[in-house]
Structure 1
């Protein structure tokens, strides 16, 4: 029987080879006919138009656009149909796997009933749908549920799919891999994720930072140690948002105040200020002579928000060496801390010719309470017109 079947296949193959040249000639004749048709249309058009290079160019452009449309339209339609088919298939699989995983979690299904391992092994599409389902279900803060889902993820070897994405050229694929591995706490690729910190792609860097915070719960901000690229405001906001929404152990941010990357230093100062890490005040004060004026400005603001009265003496020492923005910050800090002992220092600054310094000094004196307000009223009697205007503005109860 097997010999008989092979004989039939051989006869069919010979028949196809005999007919194939004829089919090829038919296709070539068909294409030749199309070319001749377009050529006749062009010749017909050119014969009825004045001979002109512009006319010829316009006709050729029209023909090119027409051919492009004929070629692109079927491609677009086929692409749309394919995407619709994929979406329908995805939705059906998502429902199927969701029901199976929930059944497994409540004990009505065994692990081998959740998915066909052979199917997952052969189909990347099925693997990705199941990963999405596991991540979507694992939202509640329930350790038992999370452990079961992670067991499914590893037992079905879905971690291999996530690891494969890290090696993809496209950065969005890398991001999917980072999110999946960090969500499932798979730490085998930590070094690779850390290497993404040196990439120029801001989104990839942010995702790697978010991933590392989840993957390194005992040292969640270890990525700052190797942060060489500028730590952008956008990245800082995302990190802070993750701290706020998750139960992450907050480190002592003064550990990064001597970092070579100034953007990391400024982020650490912001965290110290926002989280009120008052024990970090002495370390912050050590940066008061930092080379970067932006860092120095953050240092002054941080010391004030930490209510470090000890820092005021140091700030007064460096006042005359600072640029205008930092001078204003120092004056503002004295008023914010309501230090009556510095009244004479503030009053001396009212003699300055710079309008902004006089205004800030007046505001700080007014913040000292009744003592400061009485002093301003007394000064207003013999003050010049500009200073009188500033004092009246600061003491105006409507402001």
Structure 2
């Protein structure tokens, strides 16, 4: 070998030969790594350019479809729609990545549209059989692709996929559970029926998203949330009470009062707050009865007092509320003062009398309440 002859001419020791061979291998490996990195950058750059080009092409056609639907005197002619579908098929071909870019672009265009403009994009999704691509991702080994598929199927109202999506409610992956939960809210003909057998937690994020979705549908289509007030899952019970409060379902009041006797303090507290928010004057006595037992429990005492401020009787409840002005917790004393003020002149008099009889120890609260922004 040429290299061997060169090394022999220098009469190198074995150790020196090993060092030279090692250095050579390291140099080759470094060059290979740089080459791989360079090729990777080229491939990524070309991939990004291809994605950008496809997005622009898809965007142009999708915009044309929406414009035709929006500004045409009648719905988009079948021939014109089929022509646009043919264009999209030609561009996307059978490439899975190109079809995914198309799905993403349809979602991007659709998210700010309503009515017929949004519906024509949904029709585009199905006309191109893109739902098959989404369903295929449900079988992926990657949870991110599964979550993506669930979002797509929900956005395009693919009700046939409900049985597959239900299975993810018990997934070990929290994101998959949340995505499937939100998808079922949107897909089921009767919203939230799957809650009947739901045994996991409904997170605050999930609750907010469900409320945002439900607030956009007709009130008459909302479920009667009282059906879940006695659900074995405490998280579902809290969620249903919260939703009854948000949507002011006064028909749920009789079932809500029963929750005052729950053994879970969080449920009792939320039920109390909800009765106050819904101005359930007919259940004032139930709150009065509860208020006589909540002194040791700061959070419950605070909520009971606040509720009486909303539905209390100015003649009968002033004495009870005045007792809470001596509560060791500042938050309870503050709510008691607020409640008395809400009961009118008699409540104001009770506040002043208590303050005078107790060395003005309510002065700080009264000054706080007198701030113009709090009136």
TM range (shorter): 0.7 to 0.9
- CA gap of 1:238–1:76, structure 2 versus 1, over 3 A, is same
Q: Which residue of 2 aligns with 1:77?
A: 41
Q: Which residue of 2 aligns with 1:240?
A: 211
Matched, 1:332 2:306: yes
Pick aligned residue for 2:291 from 295, 308, 319: 319
Give unpaired runs (5+ residues) of structure 1: 1-27, 34-38, 48-55
Give unpaired runs (5+ residues) of structure 2: 7-11, 70-75
User: 1:361 offset after TM fit, Å?
Assistant: 2.8
Q: Which residue of 1 aligns with 2:352?
A: 377
Q: Which residue of 2 aligns with 1:283?
A: 255
Matched, 1:167 2:131: no
Deviations 1:208-242 (A, max 9, x none): 233223322x3122232232221000111111122
The more displaced of 175-184 and 97-106 is 97-106
Deviations 1:285-343 (A, max 9, x none): 11112222222211110011111123332223233443121012111211233521211
Deviations 1:41-91 (A, max 9, x none): x959989xxxxxxxx9xx99x979956853553244234323233324423
C-alpha contact 1:213 1:220 (8 A) present in aligned 2: yes
Give aligned pairs, total.
Answer: 350
Distance 2:53 2:86 in 1: 16
Which has more radius of gyration?
Answer: 1
Q: Which residue of 2 aligns with 1:229?
A: 200
C-alpha contact 1:346 1:361 (8 A) present in aligned 2: yes
Higher relative contact order at CA 8 Å, sep ≥6: structure 1 or structure 2? 2
Q: Which residue of 2 aligns with 1:24?
A: none
Matched, 1:343 2:336: no
Distance 2:339 2:286 in 1: 18
Q: Which residue of 2 aligns with 1:298?
A: 270
Distance 1:359 1:289 in 2: 26
RMSD across aligned positions (CA)? 4.0
Q: Which residue of 2 aligns with 1:220?
A: 191
SS of 2:253's partner is helix
Pick aligned residue for 2:282 from 286, 297, 310: 310
Counting only pairs closer than 5 Å after superposition, residues 32-111 of structure 1 correspond to structure 2 as 43=16, 66=30, 69-70=33-34, 72-95=36-59, 97-98=61-62, 101=65, 105-106=76-77, 109=80, 111=82
TM-score, normalised relative to structure 2: 0.77
Distance 2:207 2:2 in 1: 66
The more displaced of 305-314 and 344-353 is 344-353
Distance 1:75 1:162 in 2: 31
Deviations 1:334-357 (A, max 9, x none): 123352121121233445555554
TM-score, normalised relative to structure 1: 0.73
The more displaced of 281-290 and 172-181 is 172-181
The more displaced of 150-159 and 204-213 is 150-159
Distance 1:92 1:282 in 2: 57
C-alpha contact 1:97 1:115 (8 A) present in aligned 2: no
Matched, 1:260 2:237: no
Distance 2:80 2:324 in 1: 78
- CA gap of 1:89–1:141, structure 2 versus 1, over 3 A, is closer
C-alpha contact 1:362 1:391 (8 A) present in aligned 2: yes
